[in-house]
């Protein structure tokens, strides 16, 4: 549960991708903290969202962040003090199928936000969603923030590029931006059923067999969405005071587990016997990736409030409803 901080009271905040999984959870929490929210998303009124019943409290703008004119006019008109830039093509499989669309949304979309903010003195913090995937493949685990960014598949490369652009706009123009690099997020409101957690919960609740695309031994770490929201908000709150501009922060539960372990855990938590088939068809995916969150713990005072089992229980309850 996020402590209400006066920092957010009546604060004008722009959330790009507010209709998405992370964006909707973040927007809901910001509303609870009293923020005045403008949201941009290419989709409007996503059904069954955690924002249902709350959209009348948000200025919802339907639009594409790769349209510089739109981004500029929204920022000029609404003058946000804080921007959470989350809009992106966030599904690896879709990025592989249509890399150009991904590069437009993820790279051009990010430079549009940064460029539109270049000379805006009213902006005090921009938090841009990078990803653990921005690192690409490294032999040294867990990944720390100083690891080089060398994504080498479309989604991963788009995140490496956008991440470098954020640093560039800080370093060259003083745009007040930080990036987050999260492990796999899970929780209420994720309707991307190609992702392991929603897919496995759906299969398990419906008594179906889950298909594991990889050999099941790939390792990842996970973050419950409320913990991620907390990390994003803490970073925005502390960025100016602690002079963190230009910095990157990892957020994860530092508890890497294999795909088979996640699936078995989900089936057990729903009271079912684990049932999965290993397809061994995963392409262009990093085999072992997990993050060190020591920097966020030390500098931001962040820590995950939910263990994987606690977070999964809450997530399953939400999908059941
Ligand atoms: N979910 C994860 O595990 C995870 C992990 C690390 C980083 N991230 C990053 O966090 C951010 C949010 O991810 P998510 O899981 O909420 O994804 P999501 O797909 O649920 O949400 C992304 C939102 O962006 C919107 N969008 C996409 N392209 C757009 C465009 N061109 N213009 C305007 N809106 C556009 C989509 O409609 C969607 O609502 C993304 O930047 C993602 O890359 C996610």
pLDDT tens sequence for the chain (321 residues):
566 678 999 999 999 999 999 999 999 999 999 999 999 999 999 988 999 999 999 999 999 999 999 999 999 999 999 999 999 999 999 999 999 999 999 999 999 999 999 999 999 999 999 999 999 999 999 999 999 999 999 999 999 999 999 999 999 999 999 999 999 999 999 999 999 999 999 999 999 999 998 899 999 999 999 999 999 999 999 999 999 999 999 999 999 999 999 999 999 999 999 999 999 887 778 889 999 999 999 999 999 999 999 999 999 999 999
Q: What pLDDT is stored for residue 2 in this prediction?
A: 60
What pLDDT does 48 receive? Answer: 86
What is the whole-number distance in angstroms between the Cα of residue 141 and the centre of ligand 1?
Answer: 26
The pick from 87, 180, 192, 220 for probing ligand 1's pocket by mutation, whose C-beta has the most ligand atoms within 8 angstroms, reads 87
43 lines ligand 1 (CB under 6 A): yes
pTM over cut 0.85: yes
Nearest ligand 1 atom, CA 191: 20
Question: What is the whole-number distance in angstroms between the Cα of residue 89 and the centre of ligand 1?
Answer: 6
Exposure string over 64-99, b if 16+ CB within 10 A, otherwise e: bbbbeebbeebbeebebbbbbbbbbbbebebbeeeb
Domain boundaries, the chain: 11-188+222-254+289-304
Taking CA atoms, 232 is separated from 132, 192, 296, 321, in Å, by 15, 21, 10, 27
Q: Is 267 a catalytic residue?
A: no
Active-site residue (options: 18, 135, 155, 222)? 155
Any ligand 1 atom below 6 A from CB of 247: no
- State the CB neighbour count (10 A cutoff) for residue 140: 7
Question: Is residue 151 lining ligand 1, measured as CB closer than 6 Å?
Answer: no
- pLDDT, position 1: 56
Q: pLDDT at position 299, please?
A: 98
For the chain, where are the E strands, in sequence order?
Answer: 12-16, 36-41, 58-62, 82-85, 125-129, 177-182, 184-186, 210-212, 219-220, 222-224, 248-251, 257-258, 276-278
Query: What residue's CA is closest to ligand 1, atom 43?
Result: 90
Q: Topology of 11-188+222-254+289-304 in CATH?
A: Rossmann fold (3.40.50)
């Amino acid at each position: 549960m996020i402590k209400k901080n006066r920092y957010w009271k009546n604060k004008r905040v722009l959330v790009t991708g507010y209709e998405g999984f992370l964006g909707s959870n973040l927007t809901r929490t910001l509303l609870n903290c009293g923020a005045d929210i403008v949201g941009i998303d290419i989709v409007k009124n996503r059904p069954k969202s955690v924002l249902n019943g709350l959209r009348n409290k948000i200025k919802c703008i339907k639009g594409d962040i790769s349209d510089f004119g739109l981004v500029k006019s929204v920022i000029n008109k609404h003058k946000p003090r804080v921007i959470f830039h989350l809009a992106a093509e966030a599904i690896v499989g879709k990025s592989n199928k249509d890399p150009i669309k991904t590069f437009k949304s993820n790279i051009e979309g990010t430079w549009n936000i940064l460029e539109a903010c270049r000379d805006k003195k009213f902006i005090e913090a921009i938090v841009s969603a990078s990803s653990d995937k921005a690192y690409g493949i490294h032999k040294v685990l867990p990944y720390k923030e100083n690891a080089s960014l060398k994504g080498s598949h479309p989604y991963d490369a788009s995140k490496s590029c956008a991440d470098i652009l954020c640093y560039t706009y800080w370093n060259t123009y003083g745009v007040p931006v930080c990036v987050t690099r999260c492990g796999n997020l899970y929780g209420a409101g994720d309707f991307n059923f190609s992702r392991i957690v929603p897919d496995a919960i759906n299969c398990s609740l419906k008594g179906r067999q889950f298909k594991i695309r990889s050999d099941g031994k790939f390792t990842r770490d996970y973050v419950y969405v409320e913990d991620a929201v907390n990390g994003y908000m803490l970073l925005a709150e502390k960025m100016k005071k602690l002079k963190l501009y230009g910095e990157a922060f990892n957020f994860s539960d530092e508890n890497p587990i294999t795909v088979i372990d996640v699936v078995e855990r989900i089936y057990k938590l729903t009271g079912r016997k684990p049932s999965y088939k290993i397809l061994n068809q995963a392409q262009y995916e990093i085999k072992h990736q997990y993050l060190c969150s020591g920097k966020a713990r030390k500098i931001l005072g962040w820590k995950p409030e939910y263990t994987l089992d606690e977070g999964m229980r809450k997530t399953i309850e939400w999908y059941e409803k």
